[in-house]
Amino acid sequence: MQRAAEFAVSATILARGEHMDIIAQLKAERDKAAHQVKALDTAIRALSGMNSTGGSARGRRTMSAAARARISAAQRARWARTRGQKVVSIAPKRHISPAGLARIRAANRARWAKVRAAKK
């Protein structure tokens, strides 16, 4: 009701030709409403954050080129099976043998022994 009365008063002032005062009042009302909207947005953000764990958002996970290639090859194989085409075999992931791993470890030990001896 108060708003209707304010606008009725504004209309009578406008009829008298004092429109500059009306414009100032309307701008003040607009600024007041914008401030209230901003306060409401802040309250909504604060309340929305209460339901979450409070942790920061994680960044995007990256994938190595090799992993992406394996996934792509597997998907191509699935589509080939679906279409009834010949499935191109995917090379299995290669593993180093225990003997090869032992050779690498021995070479590393020898290399670091050489580095330590050079420091003395």
Q: What is the mean pLDDT of residues 60-81?
A: 89
Token digits of residue 5: 């009365």
- Please indicate whether residue 6 or residue 106 has the higher confidence score (pLDDT): 106
Q: Is residue 39 part of a domain?
A: yes
Residue 1 above 60 pLDDT?
A: no
Q: Give the pLDDT confidence score for residue 108 in this predicted structure.
A: 98
Q: Is residue 79 part of a domain?
A: no
In the chain, the number of structural domains is 1
Q: What is the mean pLDDT of residues 90-104?
A: 89
- pTM score, two decimals? 0.30
| Mean pLDDT of all residues belonging to the chain | 82
Q: Is residue 9 part of a domain?
A: yes
Q: pLDDT for 8-52, tens place per residue?
A: 555 555 555 677 788 888 999 999 999 999 999 998 888 887 665
Q: Give the pLDDT confidence score for residue 10 in this predicted structure.
A: 55
Q: Which domain holds residue 36?
A: 2-49
Q: Is residue 43 part of a domain?
A: yes
Q: Is residue 92 part of a domain?
A: no
Gap between the Cα atoms of 114 and 103, Å rounded? 17
Gap between the Cα atoms of 30 and 37, Å rounded? 10
Q: What is the mean pLDDT of residues 80-105?
A: 84
Helix 19-51 × helix 2-15 angle, to 10°: 150
